[in-house]
Amino acid sequence: MNYQSTRDSSLHVTSAVAIAQGISADGGLFIPSEIPQITMEELRSLADMSYKQRADVVFGKFLTDFTAEELDYCTSGAYNTKNFDSENIAELTGAFGDAHILELWHGPTCAFKDMALQILPYLLTTSLKKNGEDKEVVILVATSGDTGKAALEGFKDVPGTRIMVFYPDHGVSSMQKRQMATQEGQNVGVCALEGNFDDCQSGVKRIFTDAAVKEKLAQNGMMFSSANSINWGRLAPQIVYYVSAYVDLAKRGEIAFGDTVNVVVPTGNFGNILAAYYAKNMGVPIGKLICASNINNVLTDFINTGVYDRNRDFFATCSPSMDILISSNLERLLYILTGGDDAQIRDWFGKLAKDGKYEVTADVKAKLQQDFVGGFCDDADTKKTIHDFKEQYGYTCDTHTAVAVKVYRDYIAKTGDTTKTIIASTASPYKFSASVLEAIEGKAEGADEYAQVAHLAEVSGLPVPQSLAALKDKPVRFSEVIGKEQMEAYVLEKLGIKA
Ligand SMILES: *Cc1c(COP(=O)(O)O)cnc(C)c1O
């Protein structure tokens, strides 16, 4: 299996090179040259395997340059009960009508990002070894709240790596901010940015692909890589849980092997739902991919019209991890839908950079609409959904998951579709206690987030994750706020490199 760049089809690298580099030098994203297949017989054979073993099977198809021993080292290091509070790693709950909720937040930072970021450091350090690379790796991360913490936990004190995280100062929940500000580890840095997530992401991408900066790092024995979902090492692990959830549904007798299921994903950067698209195209019987957005509904419009237009107001919502107007991973999908037309991708993404807007061809739009359904909901509906779902089923979901539930409900109201459905649940409600309590009780408790956490425990009956409870007594280590034009200087200074 080779990896190409979405902006240069002639490029052929191994998965180890793609993972180590994170992003291609031409600004494109690495993408496998074909989508490997999984047969129904193979899916059946996964039924009696652990999550870790299922991961070995899926990774074995994508990371063909890794040996079985290397994969085993990576998957056993990541998917165990030391890191996850569920034996199943990803917990499938329900049924709620025809829907099951796939809880992807049983890892150390209580968001679905752990599913990939617990294993990425293993994949990355193994890749470096395979590539004969001896440089220190500097991971730059742009986060809308959850990636940052998950990446910090994954990479803290991993030898040969350093990690720096940028988050929008006013764009994350207070629990998310506290998680990052109190981060432990000798090789970590956290910095707030005056700007939104897109500013963080653009800044990081610019630094990554700046030849002069790269040269300075090389002279100092360092190289950049990425822990954002532009890195294929983030995407591949996310495919596993869709394969695994399908197998679990069949194992429980909710479906028969071969039956179609729909998938609903609360979406921001389009990484999670793209992983579901890969699972579908590997041969997992997935029907509709329902892309749920909050009021920053650039993807809903795109799916409905074929026009991607980021020239619109940006809203800070109660589902902040989805407050994104430039969804990076869409580039991978469009590369696939154009049949690998790198010139077309360069044209569209050039327009996006220049005018903030592009329109896909009628053919690509038709293909897009064959698989994807787009929907969105605002904060009022998000909160109403949390309230109503709890009333109906006694289940408390976080704000992001609630967006998915609402968009799913709108979809079935409109279509009458009774296909069994997997709703991806991307965060623990405790990460967004204030909003969740406000939704359930019509008001939030005072300002102290730990009073809110305690109260949410009473209201929801869910155990408080140990990792969040422990933050209460940890000292704040990082409180710096910089302007977006200062990012490059900040990075070089922290690395001890003269600008
Ligand atoms: C990152 C995140 C999302 C969006 O996922 P993408 O892969 O960026 O689409 C949704 N919900 C939560 C809680 C997240 O942390």
Q: What does the pLDDT look like over 142-182, one tens digit per residue?
A: 998 899 999 999 999 999 999 999 999 998 888 899 999 99
Q: Which numbered atom of ligand 1 lies nearest the CA of 267?
A: 9
pLDDT given for residue 498 in this prediction: 82
pLDDT at 302 over 80: yes
Mean pLDDT of 367-376: 98
Query: Known catalytic residue: 113?
Result: yes
pLDDT at 444 over 80: no
CB 6 within 8 A of CB 31: yes
pLDDT given for residue 293 in this prediction: 98
- The larger pLDDT score, comparing residue 444 to residue 226, is at 226
For ligand 1, say whether the CB of 322 is within 6 Å of any of its atoms.
yes
Q: Which numbered atom of ligand 1 lies nearest the CA of 272?
A: 7
CB 54 within 8 A of CB 244: yes
- The larger pLDDT score, comparing residue 443 to residue 225, is at 225
320 CA distance to ligand 1 middle (Å)? 9
Residue 4 lies in a domain: no
Q: Which numbered atom of ligand 1 lies nearest the CA of 145?
A: 15
Q: Which domain holds residue 367?
A: 91-109+233-465
Q: What tokens does 461 get?
A: 């009956």
For ligand 1, say whether the CB of 276 is within 6 Å of any of its atoms.
no
Q: Which CATH number characterizes residue 377's domain?
A: 3.40.50.1100
How far, in Å, are 75, 104, 316, 427, 490 from residue 110 at the CA level?
19, 8, 21, 6, 29
Q: What tokens does 58 get?
A: 């899926």
pLDDT band for position 447 (50/70/90)?
low
Residue 432 lies in a domain: yes
- The radius of gyration of the chain's CA atoms, rounded to the nearest angstrom, is 21
Q: How far apart are CA 338 and CA 158, in angstroms?
A: 39
pLDDT at 446 over 90: no
Q: What pTM, to 2 d.p., does this model score? A: 0.95
pLDDT given for residue 145 in this prediction: 84
Neighbours of 442 (CB within 10 A): 9
Residue 165 lies in a domain: no
* Among 170-174, 349-353, 428-432, 484-488, the least confident range: 170-174
346 CA distance to ligand 1 middle (Å)? 26
pLDDT in tens, 269-293: 999 999 999 999 999 999 999 999 9
Residue 371 lies in a domain: yes
- The larger pLDDT score, comparing residue 472 to residue 78, is at 78
For ligand 1, say whether the CB of 113 is within 6 Å of any of its atoms.
yes
pLDDT in tens, 11-23: 999 999 999 999 8
Total domains, the chain: 1
What letter would DSSP give residue 101? Answer: E
pLDDT given for residue 445 in this prediction: 61
How far, in Å, are 60, 192, 196, 236, 257 from residue 480 at the CA level?
42, 6, 16, 33, 52
For ligand 1, say whether the CB of 146 is within 6 Å of any of its atoms.
yes
Q: Whose CA is nearest to atom 2 of ligand 1?
A: 321
Query: What are 100's strand-pairing partners?
Result: 94, 422
Average pLDDT along the chain = 95
CB 436 within 8 A of CB 464: no
Q: How far apart are CA 210 and CA 110, in angstroms?
A: 34
- Give the CA dihedral 451, 457, 463, 468, nearest 10 degrees: -30
| Residue percentage of the chain with pLDDT more than 90 | 93
495 CA distance to ligand 1 middle (Å)? 29
Q: Which residues of 57-91 are buried (b: 16+ CB within 10 A; e: fewer)?
A: bbbebbbebbeeebbbbbbebbbeeebbbeeebbb
pLDDT band for position 229 (50/70/90)?
confident
pLDDT at 267 over 70: yes
* Among 175-189, 422-436, 446-460, the least confident range: 446-460
Which of 113, 130, 288, 431 is flagged as catalytic? 113
